[in-house]
Structure 1
């Protein structure tokens, strides 16, 4: 049966495609030396996940894929009590974890790196169609981190309290862009020339190198220059132009990278500028505009809820209802009443 490439895949269909592929024997873990690989279902897209277990408490995951259709996954996420360090090499996606600390609504784009600890949360994930996605993730058990006997006095309080066992609050923290040293270590991981025990030793050394570089950013030893955090008058004008474009294109908004090109800013400065000037993310602002427009339309009572959903740019009424309830605190029908 041909795929409808324009239709969004939700969590139910996503799980069904995996189950179907598993029953047909199309997806299974293949072991090769110290790592295992698994391709994604052919009806979902192309690509694979690689998992390398270096030793108890430390592993690497490498994901490279491309989906035929856009994904909207909404599910309950239960973590494994590990700290995650992610490096995004290609593509962009949007993740919402309502209620977590620091960044509950965020765009994760190529060139960024982050640290996160998700103990338990709702996860709403949006993946684009036809866009290559690639990332390297490091999973660290907290006991493994504590074994280094490091002091965390200068670290952000949420991370320090987590390591010191004084708190286990879920959080997500985007750090600065990948440095050349990080990029080199990532390429060495992706192109490891060794096998067996040598491979484990080599990869662990590169993981430690990456974490030192990332924690150095986190601890503020590499302070960003004042020029990095300043915005020229032309930058501010372009940020306001980006804001106006989002207001005008609620139904068919540009992607983050497209918006950056339209206003002639790089995507990092666009994201940084939105937080600095407007106190929200690019997609957070877009959602706020959509919800304000939706409230006006619902109050006018001229359009059905499905028509309102379509008017403000949602692919389905159910997606709109979930987003509206999350933003406003009640369903569209309750708001209209």
Structure 2
């Protein structure tokens, strides 16, 4: 388990990485009241939040953006297993710092995270959704910084600022769409079906029948919960899987394209370049 704390202006950045050959737990607390936004990378690690006699549990955390208020009475517990490693970035600021944040950031926090700025308990859950493809790219870059020393820190600072900007930008654009627990489970199932069938995904109509939601409800609630339309999510997962295959030399560019369902190498290369900013042939092994 690696846990790094980095101070940037009045923000504390916590970067956590952990893996285990067996099921294990890792707990942490914060020393003072703060408002934070957590970004979860790959792994789908389970999270339990305990405060007093209360407890909240979170699963399916891969790609989750999770904002919250917490004080010193709150304990965060991650359950790590061979299939669920931990990758988490937490951007936090103490309540006492809100008035000192630069670039009107304190006002943004107050307006968009009002319930966290004025908490009514030791732990308050704020807005939560799944990362956009742009946010996923930034999180992946933070966990794979190719630089060292001062250059590494310069890059890190820029990515954290951009990540937080994307979070508030997405938050301000979101429509208020309530997704109930039954719909949430069906949407998680839809996400799983798409991921398991990247090379031959079902149509929107077929997917709707498989999970028991009509197509209109599927499109609307999927975007509300995961932050992107159904097939934007599919494309993003296709390209992410292909990138990993090429980077680890598990497949050639052509093989990776076929594996995730692209018949045209030029279409794959163009989509790849649009997402990552470089073509698949330029990946550094």
Relative to the length of structure 2, the TM-score reads: 0.51
Query: What are the residue-to-residue correspondences of 1:1-337 with 2, within 5 Å?
Result: 40=1, 49-51=2-4, 53-55=6-8, 57-71=10-24, 77=29, 79-91=31-43, 92-98=45-51, 104-107=56-59, 109-121=61-73, 123=75, 125=77, 127-142=79-94, 145-146=98-99, 147-148=101-102, 149=104, 150-152=106-108, 154-161=111-118, 169-173=122-126, 175-218=128-171, 221-224=172-175
The 8 Å contact of residues 31 and 71 in structure 2, kept in 1 or not, is answered as yes
Q: CA deviation at 1:56?
A: 5.6
Give distance in 1, aligned partners of 2:164 and 2:210: 33
Per-residue CA shift, 1:10-49, capped at 9, x if unaligned? xxxxxxxxxxxxxxxxxxxxxxxxxxxxxx4xxxxxxxx1
Question: Aligned pair count?
Answer: 192
The 8 Å contact of residues 116 and 126 in structure 2, kept in 1 or not, is answered as no
Indicate how the Cα distance of structure 1 residues 173 and 131 shifts in structure 2: closer, same or farther if over 3 A, else same: farther
The 8 Å contact of residues 32 and 71 in structure 2, kept in 1 or not, is answered as yes
Q: CA deviation at 1:204?
A: 1.2
The 8 Å contact of residues 114 and 175 in structure 1, kept in 2 or not, is answered as yes
Indicate how the Cα distance of structure 1 residues 99 and 212 shifts in structure 2: closer, same or farther if over 3 A, else same: farther
Q: CA deviation at 1:223?
A: 1.9
Relative to the length of structure 1, the TM-score reads: 0.44
Structure with the greater relative contact order (CA < 8 A, sep ≥ 6): 1 or 2?
A: 2
Q: Bigger radius of gyration, 1 or 2?
A: 1
Give distance in 2, aligned partners of 1:189 and 1:158: 29
Give distance in 1, aligned partners of 2:77 and 2:137: 29
Per-residue CA shift, 1:157-188, capped at 9, x if unaligned? 322336xxxx7853233521111111122122
Give distance in 1, aligned partners of 2:134 and 2:3: 23
Give distance in 1, aligned partners of 2:153 and 2:175: 34
3-state secondary structure, aligned to 2:140:
helix
